[in-house]
Homo-oligomer: A and B are copies of this chain.
């Protein structure tokens, strides 16, 4: 949602004569952005764009010699659409790119043609750091997965790709200086340096900075497979296959480790033009430090009181190394300790309080607390989290700008290249809006309405959050069409990391090919049904057709168990879904009965209500690592019909209306 929008009368037609012209200084990066828009318009509309004599979109931008995208870029733009043409003006290519995305977002099929509405937009981001972190260590993500997600990121105006490239489960970049890092630490799943450069160039073309993360001194098991001499503990080491927090840690008391890091960070720094470089620094387990006599001796000699002090010493040294290679340090909350120069940026998984405290000491910060997409919470949950909310609200106008923005995070214990798109999109777009739009843009139901449309628009950028769904369901069903499986999957929601890690012992060897992996984080079907039901309840007479659609859905749920049974039988992947399929049927049955009470205006017998509510509450618990979202609208229904007549004003009034019909 732009900072300011005013919609006028009339429409700008989009057809095969679509043409873009650039006034002012034209420049290769601008031309690339324009060419991408033209091909995007073609894809979005299916129209072969031929161009024409009169420009549809006129771009005005000095755009002289843009460098690598930067935190200081002026990203603002103005888009003015009239029935004759659209005018986009901006101070930088960044602004043009954003304006182009807004323009393409506005294209819709109308009564006569595709069109863009007449509109005047003034827009600029609220925060300059709007990122998405992707962990490619726990599950490998090939370059094409990165590329399509960069396209989707650019579409929703994210401008930082934070690439979590090493962890206990894998070191994912080719190192020419220390080849055993990727040769022994990646199972062969690593990016060559050419691939890294290609991804960085691809991101740059889309106005996205790439910030690499090499997590140190913990989260380094994969390093030690090739270089055990760097470790604080005794080897031998193997690539970690489990999820959790592990003990292997760099021996940061040894000068040799700093020599190694100097060379490695230098090599890696040269691959990434961005001035920021992420060193992780989180979840350091100090047992090996405490049990290693040499490290303990080092602490004593240096007058370092404890492990926290040792970690702080390490961070100061690393910051100096990075500075030598022209980089500013970014780290998780834990890196913040006395002695760091204040160009460090703190990424907080702990919350706004951390950021406030850091800001008061003069440190800049970005928020990730509340933006962990792998927790698989609703978009509304993330949408409500504000980098300047909670304790950060207290910051004055001098310190508030130290909060640079935030980053959505995708840790991939339970996410593979098959499922990552559906775990990211469309929910990440809600975070993108939180970081771009005004804090006062916070109407959740309006957000969901727009998110639905964005989700479909994003599909045209190649991300497979839609198309991967059917593919995974068909793999589950074997080789037959299985609409009944889709009915079930549409009615459930995947759970996140918390529930999954309790459900069974997972590791990188465990396939992620089950119903929970296919299921979406939020059920669009149930969301829509809830809205239909709310309308029906508020006025059944006026919304008779909505009520019929709700009834049809409940009937379908009720009947689905029978249709799904032959598919589930003898299918080891789906056996676990038998109970939830039964539950969906039961939910449908309760819902149908509830609708009859709603229509008759009669209050249900209280024992029926009690039983129904108890069953619904039970069925709302996760089974087979999915939640039966279908329960939610039925619970609402039961709540409404079971209220005393005097309290259920809306419903009672409507029943009268319904009976009059």
Contacts and interface: CB of A to CB of B under 8 A. Distances in A.
Interface in A25-51: 44-48, 50
Contacts of A464: 467
Interface string A50-82: 100000000000000000000000000000000
Contacts of A46: 416, 418, 472, 475, 511-513, 517
A579 to B, nearest CB: 17
Interface in A1-46: 16, 44-46
A336 B84 CA distance: 57
B475 A460 contact: yes
Interface string A464-490: 101110111011101111000000000
Interface string A499-516: 000000000111111000
Interface string A512-536: 1100010000001000100000000
A510 B47 CA distance: 7
B452 A474 contact: no
Given A475-B460, A481-B452, A509 B48 contact: yes
A553 to B, nearest CB: 10
Contact of A45 (B113, B481, B513, B570): B513
Interface in A188-231: none
A184 interface: no
Interface in A438-482: 452-454, 456-457, 459-460, 464, 466-468, 470-472, 474-476, 478-481
Nearest to A484: B549
Interface in A573-606: 573-575
B108 A478 contact: yes
Interface residues of A, number: 58
A112 B573 CA distance: 8
Given A460-B475, A513-B45, A573-B109, A480 B467 contact: no
Nearest to A139: B48
A378 interface: no
A559 interface: yes
Contacts of A474: 456, 459, 466
A86 to B, nearest CB: 19
A16 B509 contact: yes
Contacts of A416: 46
Contacts of A177: none
A657 interface: no
A361 to B, nearest CB: 44
A109 B572 contact: yes
A142 to B, nearest CB: 11
Interface string A101-145: 000000011111100000000000000000000000000000000
A48 B512 CA distance: 9
Interface centre among A468, A470, A545 (most CB of B within 10 A): A470
Contacts of A308: none
A610 interface: no
B460 A480 contact: no
A211 to B, nearest CB: 28
A245 interface: no
Contact of A110 (B481, B517, B572): B572
Contacts of A573: 109
A337 interface: no
Nearest to A43: B418
Given A109-B573, A559-B552, A563-B549, A44 B475 contact: yes
A633 to B, nearest CB: 16
A571 interface: yes
A235 interface: no
A562 interface: yes
Contacts of A459: 471, 474
Contacts of A481: 452, 456, 524, 528
Contacts of A467: 464, 466-468, 470-471
Nearest to A46: B513
A108 B549 CA distance: 36
A511 B476 contact: no
Contacts of A508: 48
Contacts of A549: 563
